[in-house]
Amino acid sequence: MDAVAAVTDRLPPLGVIFDLDGVLVNSFDVMRQAFSTAYREVVGPGEAPFAEYNRHLGRYFPDIMRIMGLPLEMEEPFVRESYRLADQVPVFDGVPGLLRTLRERGLRLAVATGKSGPRARSLLDVVGLLPEFEYVIGSDEVANPKPAPDIVRHALDRLDLGPEDAMMVGDAVTDLASAKAAETFAVAALWGETDEAELLQAGPDAVLREPADLLALCPEVVRR
C-alpha cells in the first residue's frame, strides 16, 4: 500500500489529527529514562520492563499500568521525570516543515494523544510545535481514552469536521483502532520505534514511511 493509491476513492481531507509520541516527537529515550526511574522508585531494583510498556504506547499511562499489573503510583515519578527531561525530546526530521505546509494549504490540525492534556501541551510548547495546532487533547480530557473513539471524535468536534473530512495519523495499533472506531481515515506512521508488522496487520487505510509522505494525501483545501 502506498500513500497516494490509498486515497483515490475519497475526498481530500480538511483536517489532520496527529498522535504525539512517535509521530511528531521522538520521545522514546526520555520515556525509557522516566519509566526506569519510576520503576526503581516505586517497585524497586531490577530491569524495568520498558519493552512491554512500549507495546502499549498510545494508551493512557494509568491504563498501561493496569494492563501490566504495575502500581499506579508509578505515574507520579514518571510524569515528574517526563517534565524534567522534556527539553531533551527531539522533533522528528521533516515534521516542522510538514506542519507549516499543511497549514499553508488550509488544513486544520489537532493532536490527540495518550498523554494528559497539560503534559502534551507543555511538551509541544517546549519543542516549539504548539502554535501549529488549533487543539491538543489528552487522554485525561475524554471519558474513554484510546483505543476508544472518544478522543478522535472530540478532536473532530473541536475542529468542526465530520469523520469523512479528516484523518488520524498514529504509530500505534491503539491510534488506528481509535480512528477506525470514530469512522475516520486511519494512517500509520512508520518512522518511529513502532512494530511495523503489527501496525500493518491492524489494517491502516494508508501508510507513511516519512513525514513528507503525508503531503501526497493532503492537497490544498478547497472548501466544500
Residues annotated as catalytic are 19, 21
Per-residue CA distances from 191 to 16, 26, 74, 153, 217 (Å):
18, 9, 28, 25, 17
Integer Cα distance of 41 and 80 in angstroms: 12
In sequence order, the 6+-apart residues with CB closer than 8 A to the CB of 56 are 63, 64, 67, 68, 174
Closest CA to 182 of 194, 195, 170, 193: 170
Q: Exposure string (b/e) for 174-197, b if CB count within 10 Å is 16 or more?
A: bbbbbbbbbebbbbbbbbbebeee
β-pairing verdict for 108-112 and 135-137 = parallel
Per-residue CA distances from 193 to 14, 26, 88, 187, 213 (Å):
28, 8, 17, 16, 18
Contact 48, 39 (CB under 8 A): yes
Q: How many CB atoms lie within 10 A of CB 125?
A: 13
